[in-house]
Amino acid sequence: MMREYITFFLILFCLISVSRSVMARLQFDMQDLSVNLAVIERTSDVNELKTALENMRSAALTARRIRPLSLYGKSVKKSDIEDYRHGYDVLISQIENMMLLANEGRITEAKAAAKQLKETRNIWHMKYWR
């Protein structure tokens, strides 16, 4: 009986530890997106712009795989998770379009596209990070 309790608490501890580290990773990715968006808004250097976009794309791809807390603890439909991932797909697509503009040296247009990217981020953030 005592072994069962110990096993139960060890498993519970492991699950809590893993979920905390996953949530910390998601929070880190969100911060990475914000920091790099600020770099994009202020830079006029094409290389700095490209680096920031690559960092944003990487963070968005990682965050796409992690479910936010708002999709835990209730009966979550598959469509909710698909919708959450769709938001990242839209964001990643916008980042990739900005990368194309940056690769062509069209910094002004890439920076203008950052406004739409920011709106997209805010919309999906409000939907899943309340």
Residues whose CB is less than 8 angstroms from the CB of residue 113 and which lie 6 or more positions away in sequence, other chains included? 94, 97, 98, 101
Q: Are 129 and 121 contacting, i.e. CB atoms less than 8 angstroms apart?
A: no
pLDDT of 129 above 70 = no
Q: What is the pLDDT of residue 45?
A: 92
Residue 75, token pair as written in the block: 């009966």
Residue 40, token pair as written in the block: 């994009």
| pLDDT single digits (tens) 27-73 | 767 778 888 889 999 988 999 999 999 999 998 898 888 877 777 66
How many whole angstroms separate alpha carbon 75 and alpha carbon 20?
20
Q: What is the pLDDT of residue 51?
A: 94
Mean pLDDT of the chain: 79
Bigger pLDDT: 33 or 130? 33
pLDDT of 93 above 80 = yes
Bigger pLDDT: 71 or 13? 71
Q: Are 91 and 120 contacting, i.e. CB atoms less than 8 angstroms apart?
A: yes
